[in-house]
Chain A
């Protein structure tokens, strides 16, 4: 087992470390930074590769049978009139989709017909032909415990102050806007929202956009261009990668959350300048996320800020999952570490997760936001946010800040933190391999083998628990996982029910791989988990 602090090379050590970073007088809100990514047991890795190998062989066999018409082909086909066009897809591109993804497709895109709260109602689907087509039976699976929606603070609800305020706003303003911010789509509600978000984050000014994904892909190109350098974390989200690519800057990737790797890249960049011409870089932008949703890890923010100040780079922090979910006051990862928000140059986040709405924001200094008001692609070409969505954000944000006069926000923040700690501790005790930081509400549970992905999803649904499983290509090929999102709306009973079901399924599928000490015993060899299940 290795901890996340590993040295990049034996004789290269980072000049800053999380212990000796001096941030002045700040209150540490976290226990020593504990993250763990337990190594894959060797036997499991071998079996996983074997599993994929067998699936690939079967895939080729089935393709062969389909080509030679021994088996009925369910795939949609090109039109007769266009048969002599260049094929739209190449066969091998879709090999994975046709032969591996199709087998377990029923674990994704499950339609729901209620609020995506702590419990939800799923529409029952059956497939007569092994997942090629689905039919809705008309039955509804009621009260399925929802461990998959990003509902960290439980604001996905259809009753209560937020819903009432959103209703009023719909009546007053309507639903659509039909114009861009710079033209005639700028409502007074937008300005109200932006002032509130700036106050929430503790920055000078902020700006809101209609889609979280688009916030990244449209604003990074406005900030950097040719001649600039972007240093991006290995596991950054697709929107950050797309935004970096569209900007035209040079992109260099550093190892996930690894400060030595980042520092080495910074030093090399400043000393050697641009490749081939050696001119100095115009600016350097570091892209990191608050919580990485596939790993559950939290960015080492004090170290990143120390590095940024030392090397005069700019920091872009994407708090899609961490805003509202971390920190004693819910202000995100900056609040979690007790740092000063003005140290982060660009604070970006989304309203989809903790606020139960949709959209994204960027916060920072007034010059930055003024510049974005003029040059962001979204303000010029994209329709502005819908009024009831804005109202939902305003009400939920005021609730978290405690400005609506109740303690509901504070209670929910405490509840989320308690739920997270409890859930992670129990899963750890049961012997599963859990990735990520102890304080992150995103809990990835390792499955590894391809067959277990499908089996886990289906078995949990049988026990009335809705989970999310992820495989390749969102994760490395042998590290498929189930990902739980703990919510403040989950009660202790719901979590216990879920945990019992997970333990049952874990025993059934032999998922308790962990060799770390549970109840104090260290498993010494890789077969110990097999032995412990043979009695």
Chain B
């Protein structure tokens, strides 16, 4: 046996001598590499801690989470809401045939009957008897709720009718309805704009737009409020970026999101210039018209009618039905090419129950009223101008907003430096007015969540039903309050 082994050994040694040099060198390197690997530290793929079970148990014992919510002090000013116990209508309690009684528009707040300068009831349809009757007859036919989303037997003929009517009214191809005003633009933006796309937004955009932007995960670029040069600068910068990488530029979508009438600053957007920028830089425009639908334009069609812009130039118009139409919900309208996409990708549309049919019927009736009487909008515009003029010259308060805007802000001329103190002063003015039967309200914001927090202000809303005398009385009351409290 020993000879056999020796024989093999000799052969091996012979092979060793006969092998070409590169072969030997390669084998030598491999052997050295194996030795190195054997003695080097092992590479850990995952972070496996070296903690023992006992240590883990200790860590679990020790860990203390924060309380679920931080404590809120009992006398936080916003904790106790003003309680509204009713709307006083001229025919309260029963439906009367005679509609020629002047509609009253008082609201009972905290037990006091006041003139309503606080709800966004621009066309006075909250107390309209026609709308209530229509809602009642719809209730008798359909019940209250829809018990399902639009895809699963939640589509009623009233919804289809309302969508058709809105599309016809706004002179677009198609409209789509949401059951909640806030969710409308917040679902529309992420349906089109995804990660990697670019959105140019005005700084004064409202909170629902901000939530839509956050949900879309796109690049957001803010431009200064109503500053077209700033926007053009951003667009030019983007153009330069595009030239560096043309292939990528061909697939990145771009959008501009603006409001017709800004809710935070009560002024108009410069729509004709924006349309020019749209065609120059090839960006799509999304227009949010919650405050201007049913207010601006000869027939109430919003800011496009006001400026005389072709409605097809705007890719998507979104508005909520909770202001001028005095119902609940929201809608988007535009070309079918754009709107139809939301029927499968709008989260607030697909995954949520549809609008209760009585609210849709109320909105249809409100639309009827708007179409029958276009004189309403002129009356509203006159009243807005009147209120704007009447509030000028209030000592210590400045009026923020255009004369056309139905929802104005009254801000302090000289801020005291601290937001809470400012809010206290303004709240005192509101309370003073409530005592004298003028219902006003503070404009509310989430301080920590807003990107560009507007200064504290009082909201003054103009409706079609306020009489001359009431407007004078309100202006007088505010002046007195300001003199007394802001001296």
Interface residues of A (CB under 8 A from B): 76-79, 81-82, 84-90, 97, 101, 108-117, 120, 123, 146, 148-151, 155-158, 162-163, 166-167, 170-188, 191, 210-214, 217-218, 221, 223, 237-239, 242, 245-246, 267, 270-272, 280-284, 311-314, 345-346, 350-353, 355-358, 367-368, 370-375, 377-378, 380-383, 385-386, 388-389, 392, 466, 468
Which residues of chain B come closer than 8 Å to A382, judged between CB atoms?
A: 180-182, 208
Knowing A173-B87, A242-B347, A271-B60, say if A367 contacts B72 (CB, 8 Å).
yes
- Interface residue from B139, B145, B180 paired with A211 (Cβ < 8 Å): B180
Chain B residues with CB under 8 Å of chain A are: 47, 49, 51, 56, 59-60, 63-72, 76, 78-79, 81-87, 89, 92-95, 107, 109, 116, 118-121, 125-127, 131-132, 135-136, 139-148, 150-157, 159-160, 179-183, 192, 206-208, 211, 214-215, 249-254, 279, 282-284, 312, 320, 322-323, 325-328, 335-338, 340-341, 343-344, 347-348, 350-353, 355-356, 358-359, 362, 439, 441-446, 449, 459
A361–B116 CA distance with the chains assembled, in angstroms: 29
**Chain B residue at minimal CB-CB distance from A375:** B446
CB nearest to A123 among chain B residues: B157
Q: Which residues of A contact B84 (CB under 8 A)?
A: 184-188
A178 with B322, Cβ < 8 A, contacts A156-B143, A357-B356 known: yes
In contact, B132 and A175 (Cβ under 8 angstroms): yes
Cα distance A163–B64 when bound, in Å? Answer: 50
Contact, CB under 8 Å: B328 / A272: no
What's the minimum C-beta distance from B433 to chain A, rounded to whole angstroms? 12
Most buried by A among B92, B253, B439, B459: B253
Query: Contacts A179-B441, A213-B351; is A357 near B180 (CB within 8 Å)?
Result: no
Q: In the complex where A77-B337, A108-B151 touch, is A183 in contact with B444 (Cβ < 8 A)? A: yes
> Given A76-B335, A86-B254, A356-B144, list of 17 further CB < 8 A pairs?
A81-B279, A82-B284, A116-B148, A158-B141, A171-B94, A174-B326, A176-B322, A176-B362, A178-B121, A185-B119, A213-B180, A271-B49, A271-B56, A284-B65, A358-B355, A380-B444, A388-B139
Interface residue from B109, B351, B444 paired with A238 (Cβ < 8 Å): B351
User: Which residues of A have CB within 8 Å of B206?
Assistant: 381
In contact, B65 and A188 (Cβ under 8 angstroms): no
Contacting residues, chain B, for A120 (C-beta < 8 A) = 153
Q: Are A167 and B139 in contact (CB under 8 A)?
A: yes
Complex: A267 Cα to B86 Cα, angstroms? 53
Q: Within the complex, which residue of A78, A90, A214, A314 is in contact with B68, where a contact is CB–CB below 8 Å? A: A314
Least Cβ distance of B244 to chain A in Å?
16
Q: Is the CB of A188 within 8 A of B251?
A: no
A346 vs B282: C-alpha distance when bound (angstroms):
47
23 A-B residue pairs with CB within 8 Å: A90-B251, A97-B344, A156-B143, A163-B139, A174-B131, A176-B326, A179-B120, A179-B441, A184-B84, A187-B83, A214-B182, A223-B68, A238-B350, A271-B60, A281-B65, A312-B63, A352-B146, A356-B144, A356-B145, A358-B353, A358-B355, A374-B78, A382-B181
Contact between B125 and A187, CB atoms less than 8 A apart: no
A270→B60 contact, CB < 8 A: yes
Closest to B94 in A: A171
B155 touches A114 (CB 8 A): no
Residues of A within 8 A of B362 (CB): 175-176
Alpha-carbon distance A170/B86, docked complex (angstroms): 11
Contact of A188 among B66, B85, B284, B355 (CB under 8 A): B85
CA distance A355 to B312 in the complex (A): 42
* CA A270 to CA B65, docked complex, whole Å: 10
Determine the distance from Cα of A76 to Cα of B335 in the docked complex, in whole angstroms: 9
Contacting residue for A374 out of B79, B155, B250, B336, CB 8 A: B79
Return the contact of A115 from the options B47, B78, B143, B441 (Cβ within 8 A).
B143
Q: What distance in Å separates the Cβ of B265 from its nearest Cβ neighbour in chain A?
A: 16
Contact of A271 among B59, B192, B215, B343 (CB under 8 A): B59
Shortest A342–chain B CB gap in Å is 13
Chain A contacts of B94 at CB under 8 A?
171
Query: Measured between C-beta atoms, what is the minimum distance from B471 to chain A in Å?
Result: 18
Q: Which residues of A sit under 8 angstroms from B157, Cβ to Cβ?
A: 111-113, 123
Given A172-B86, A356-B144, is A112 in contact with B153 using a C-beta cutoff of 8 Å?
Answer: yes
Assuming the A-B contacts A90-B251, A115-B143, A212-B353, are A246 and B211 also in contact, with contact meaning beta carbons closer than 8 angstroms in the complex?
yes
Would you call A109 and B151 a contact (CB within 8 A)?
yes
The residues of A that contact B352 with a CB separation of less than 8 Å are 211-214, 239
B459 near A183 with CB under 8 A, answer yes
State the CA gap A392–B139 with chains docked (Å): 11
Q: Do the beta carbons of A355 and B145 come within 8 Å of each other?
A: yes
**B215 with A313: CB separation less than 8 A:** no
Write the nearest CB–CB distance from B258 to chain A, whole angstroms: 18
* Complex Cα gap A238–B215 (Å): 12
Flag if B252 contacts A368 (CB, 8 Å). Answer: no
CA separation between A162 and B139, bound complex, in Å?
Answer: 11
> Whole-angstrom distance from the CB of B212 to the nearest CB of chain A?
10
**In the complex, what residues of A have CB within 8 A of residue B70's CB?**
371
Cα distance A295–B125 when bound, in Å? 44
Please report the C-alpha to C-alpha distance between residue A210 and residue B192 in the assembled complex, in whole angstroms: 25
Q: Which residues of A contact B109 (CB under 8 A)?
A: 184
A283 with B65: CB separation less than 8 A: yes
Contact A186 B359 (CB under 8 A): no
Instruction: Determine whether the beta carbon of A179 is less than 8 Å from that of B119.
Output: yes
Assembly CA distance A281 to B358 (angstroms): 47
Whether the Cβ atoms of B92 and A172 lie closer than 8 Å is yes
The 3 tightest CB contacts between A and B, nearest first, are: A211-B180, A371-B69, A176-B326
Query: Which residue of the partner chain A has the closest CB to B159?
Result: A111
The smallest C-beta distance from B382 to any residue of chain A, in angstroms, reads: 21
Q: Which residues of A contact B144 (CB under 8 A)?
A: 156, 162-163, 166, 356-358, 388-389, 392
The distance from the CB of B53 to the nearest CB of chain A, in whole angstroms, is 10
Instruction: Check A223–B69 contact: CB distance below 8 A.
Output: yes
Q: Is the CB of A175 within 8 A of B359?
A: yes
- CB A210 to nearest CB in B, in angstroms, measures 6
Q: With A156-B145, A175-B362 known to touch, is A383 a contact of B322 (CB < 8 Å)? A: yes
CA distance A392 to B251 in the complex (A): 49
Given contacts A76-B340, A162-B144, A183-B118, whether A175 and B358 have CB atoms under 8 Å apart is yes
Residues of A near B192 (CB, < 8 A) are 88
When the two chains form their complex, are residues A111 and B155 in contact, meaning their CB atoms are under 8 A apart? yes
Residues on A with beta carbons closer than 8 Å to the beta carbon of B148: 116, 148-150
- Chain A: minimal CB distance from B119 (Å): 4
Docked-complex contact A88 and B338, CB < 8 angstroms = yes
B310's nearest neighbour on chain A, judged by CB, is A81
* Chain A nearest CB, measured from B37 CB (Å): 29
**Inter-chain contacts of A356 with B (CB < 8 A):** 143-145, 147
B151 to chain A: closest CB distance in Å?
Answer: 5
Expressed in whole angstroms, the Cα–Cα distance for A246 and B261 within the complex equals: 26
With A86-B250, A108-B152, A314-B68 given, is the CB distance from A238 to B347 under 8 Å? yes
Contacts of A313 in B (CB 8 A): 65
Chain A residues near B95: list those with CB within 8 A: 171
Residues A175 and B81 in contact in the complex (CB < 8 Å), given A76-B336, A108-B152: no
- A182–B81 contact, CB under 8 A? yes
Q: Are A267 and B60 in contact (CB under 8 A)?
A: yes
With A188-B83, A358-B353 already in contact, the answer to whether A311 and B60 are too (CB < 8 A) is: yes
Interface centre among B92, B323, B446 (most CB of A within 10 A): B446
Residues of the A chain whose Cβ atoms lie less than 8 Å from the Cβ of B83: 186-188, 191
User: Are A76 and B353 touching (Cβ within 8 A)?
Assistant: no
A242→B215 contact, CB < 8 A? yes
Question: How distant is B289 from chain A, measured CB to nearest CB, in Å?
Answer: 16
Tell me, in angstroms, the Cα distance from A389 to B64 when the chains sit together: 42
Does B444 contact A246, Cβ atoms closer than 8 Å? no
CB distance from A480 to the nearest CB of B (A): 14
Complex-state Cα separation, A242 to B262, whole angstroms: 26
- Report the bound CA distance from A217 to B60 in whole Å: 30
CA distance A180 to B146 in the complex (A): 24
Q: Measured between alpha carbons, how far is A274 from B148 in the docked complex, in Å?
A: 40
Most chain B CB atoms below 10 A, which of A148, A179, A214, A367? A179
User: Which of A86, A90, A272, A280 counts the most B-chain CB atoms under 10 A from its CB?
Assistant: A86
